């Protein structure tokens, strides 16, 4: 009843009495009948069936639109991709909001799990507002295109591949490296305003779905409370931090010897441009400066590939052969006719390596392959995605066609890549003899510069974004917070002064592209846990770093059983299927690198470690 402002007391009493008298029992029943009924379990199941059908019908269109945009980067394809993304976001928001209506309904396991998947399925959920949905899609597409074109607001354009090559060139001067590092970060400042607006819209959408912010939504996807997942990340990091600290201490000391105190101090964080990679996320390119001395010659896979006259496509064939040796079926013929293996000269493409699942029988990779060691390993990684995609696609309904968690997807190809050692290279004819154990320390150092060095970077990227999403990091401190976290976790610092006129997070692809990054940290933990278990199944009795599961059908069968589960069960159950454990365990990393850790600790005696 509306409030009565001007009626006299008598008039109000008469009006109230009339209302009461009008409410006869028959009318009460009619009014109650008009109330919306509570949703039922049967309606929830019907909704899920309809949602899966809609997503199935829409997926191929969405995937192919994204494929075209990534392979033909123009203003037109950007517009088409933005429109497709807008449509997909609208559908995702609609399904998520409908799924929310069944929160209090008691339903069977699969229906409940699929409802939760729908609610948490959006990376950047738009509000139920067409204008904001369109704005979010346009911002996302523009951020991605800005990164892909590599041009600053002043129209000064840069080739990321060439700049990164300079940073990785062991003969390049400190000044040349610094110039390359600074130039790439001229592209990202123009992203800041759009990024801030994107955060605002996505947070509004996340709150409409019942989450505190978008970071809480991201963390909700890990079959545990959002805050518990953050604590689990820190727990696992604590297991490996002593190994990382030893590595950082040694690398800093050797770079100090090379460049001198004016460039690299003997204590404190390491300048980011000297670690051989645009983001200082992997340090393999400084291997020659920091490696243990050994008379044993380490295998340079890139040189062996060139000596054997491998083409880019043959590198991919070799990676496919690894999976077929484990008992997997070869990839379909369309993989070879539709994938992108070589960077075209006639158009702009997004060269960041990626694996694509466009339909139940259409799998591809997009990659500007170079005949070198890094890309040989990356190809094995990307095909890991493809074989995972096909395994669950053939067994699971639409909403379960995903990895147990996103870290699993990243871990599978890397698990296989851990078998890319001399035993494997000899099996496929790239080398004639397996090196003796005198070459193990250099090999482990090379692996640590890639795998161990990455861990704190893999952890802090999303810690930065979680802080941005929940407001702990205001827009006025985006850049400061980024470098504070890099120093805290990595012991790495900016080589020149940075201000809030810069937007250095945007210089990393996954930030403007809004790709959650925790998956890469999880993958670096899980791959060693997977590798240790598969090596046990394969009967390995030697050092873990010398094990290769290539050709072992028993290991392949165990791997395949987990892949086929998709996301149908909590990731803890999928992990148990593979390893017998329900909790992530970084002790496999400690086992793998045990000889190197002992050597590093000996080298670091008398040095001031830490930062």
Catalytic residues: 352-353, 381-382, 385, 410, 510, 520
Torsion of CA 501, 504, 507, 509, to 10 degrees: -120
List of residues 6+ apart from 535 with CB closer than 8 A: 544, 547, 549, 555
List of residues 6+ apart from 389 with CB closer than 8 A: 355, 357, 363, 401
Measure the CA–CA gap between 147 and 482, rounded to whole angstroms: 18
Give the HSE-up count for residue 425: Cα atoms under 13 Å, Cβ half-sphere: 24
The full length of the chain comes to: 611
* H/E run at residue 411: helix 406-417
Nearest to 111 by CA among 42, 197, 175: 42
Q: How, if at all, do strands 354-359 and 362-366 pair?
A: antiparallel
First to last CA, the chain: 67
Nearest to 498 by CA among 469, 474, 477: 477
Mapping DSSP to helix (H, G, I), strand (E, B) and coil, where does residue 262 land? coil
Nearest to 359 by CA among 324, 323, 334: 334
Nearest to 451 by CA among 505, 346, 524: 524
Measure the CA–CA gap between 510 and 529, rounded to whole angstroms: 25
Measure the CA–CA gap between 85 and 382, rounded to whole angstroms: 24
User: CA 337 → CA 329, 360, 366, 549, distances in Å?
Assistant: 18, 16, 12, 29
User: CA 71 → CA 62, 142, 150, 343, 505, distances in Å?
Assistant: 14, 16, 15, 9, 24
Measure the CA–CA gap between 424 and 139, rounded to whole angstroms: 45
* H/E run at residue 375: helix 373-393
Query: Phi and psi at residue 354, in whole multiples of 5°?
Result: -155, 155
Contact indicator for 431, 464 with CB cutoff of 8 Å = no
Q: How, if at all, do strands 492-493 and 270-271 pair?
A: parallel
Give the number of other CB atoms < 10 A from CB of residue 539. 11
Give the HSE-up count for residue 229: Cα atoms under 13 Å, Cβ half-sphere: 24
Contact indicator for 537, 558 with CB cutoff of 8 Å = yes
Mapping DSSP to helix (H, G, I), strand (E, B) and coil, where does residue 105 land? coil
List of residues 6+ apart from 210 with CB closer than 8 A: 100, 103, 119
């Amino acid at each position: 009843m509306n409030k009565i402002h001007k009626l006299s007391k008598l008039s109000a009493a008469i009006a109230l009495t009339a209302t009461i008298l009008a409410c006869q029992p028959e009318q009460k029943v009619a009014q109650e009948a008009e109330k919306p009924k509570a949703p039922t379990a049967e309606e929830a199941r019907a909704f899920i069936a309809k949602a899966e059908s809609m997503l199935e019908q829409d997926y191929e269109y969405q995937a192919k639109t994204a494929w075209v945009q990534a392979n033909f980067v123009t203003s037109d394809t950007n517009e088409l991709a933005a429109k497709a993304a807008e449509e997909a976001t609208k559908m995702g928001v609609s399904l998520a909001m409908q799924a929310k209506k069944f929160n209090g309904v008691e339903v069977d396991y699969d229906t409940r799990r699929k409802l939760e998947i729908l609610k948490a399925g959006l990376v950047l959920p738009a509000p139920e507002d067409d204008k904001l949905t369109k704005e979010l899609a346009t911002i996302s597409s523009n951020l991605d295109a800005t990164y892909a074109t590599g041009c600053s607001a002043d129209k000064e354009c840069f080739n990321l591949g060439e700049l990164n090559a300079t940073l990785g060139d062991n003969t390049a001067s400190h000044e040349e490296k610094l110039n390359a590092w600074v130039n790439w970060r001229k592209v990202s400042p123009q992203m800041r305003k759009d990024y801030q607006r994107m955060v605002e819209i996505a947070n509004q959408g996340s709150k409409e779905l019942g989450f505190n912010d978008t970071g809480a939504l991201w963390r909700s996807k890990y079959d545990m409370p959002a805050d518990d997942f953050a604590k689990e990340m820190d727990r696992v990091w604590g297991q490996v931090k002593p190994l990382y600290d030893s590595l950082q201490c040694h690398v800093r000391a050797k770079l100090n010897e090379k460049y001198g105190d004016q460039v690299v101090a003997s204590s404190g964080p390491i300048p980011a441009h000297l670690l051989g990679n645009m983001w200082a996320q992997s340090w393999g390119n400084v291997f020659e400066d920091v490696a243990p001395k050994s008379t044993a010659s380490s295998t340079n896979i890139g040189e062996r590939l060139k000596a054997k006259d491998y083409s880019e496509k043959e590198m991919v064939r070799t990676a496919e052969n690894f999976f077929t040796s484990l008992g997997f079926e070869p990839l379909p013929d369309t993989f070879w006719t539709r994938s992108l293996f070589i960077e075209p000269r006639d158009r702009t493409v997004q060269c960041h390596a990626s694996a694509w699942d466009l339909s139940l029988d259409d799998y591809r990779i997009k990659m500007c392959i170079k005949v070198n060691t890094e890309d040989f390993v990356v190809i094995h990684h990307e095909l890991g995605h493809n074989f995972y995609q096909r395994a669950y696609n053939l067994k699971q309904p639409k909403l379960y066609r995903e990895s147990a968690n996103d870290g699993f997807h990243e871990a599978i190809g890397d698990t296989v890549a851990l078998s890319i050692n001399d035993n494997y290279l000899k099996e496929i004819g790239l080398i004639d003899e397996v090196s003796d154990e005198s070459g193990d320390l250099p090999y482990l150092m090379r692996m640590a510069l890639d795998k161990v060095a990455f861990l704190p970077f893999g952890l802090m990227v999303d810690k930065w974004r979680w802080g941005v999403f929940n407001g702990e990091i205001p827009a006025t401190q985006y850049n400061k917070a980024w470098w504070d976290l890099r120093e805290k976790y990595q012991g790495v610092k900016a080589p020149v002064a940075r201000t809030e006129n810069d937007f250095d997070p945007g210089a990393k692809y996954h930030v403007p592209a809004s790709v959650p990054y925790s998956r890469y940290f999880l993958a670096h933990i899980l791959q060693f846990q997977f590798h240790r278990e598969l090596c046990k199944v394969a009967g390995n009795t030697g050092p873990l770093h010398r094990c290769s599961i290539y050709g072992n059908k028993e290991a392949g069968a165990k791997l395949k059983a987990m892949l086929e589960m998709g996301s149908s069960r909590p990731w803890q159950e999928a992990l148990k299927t593979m390893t017998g454990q329900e909790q992530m365990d970084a002790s496999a990393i400690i086992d793998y690198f045990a000889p190197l850790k002992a050597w590093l600790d000996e080298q670091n005696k008398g040095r001031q470690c830490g930062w």
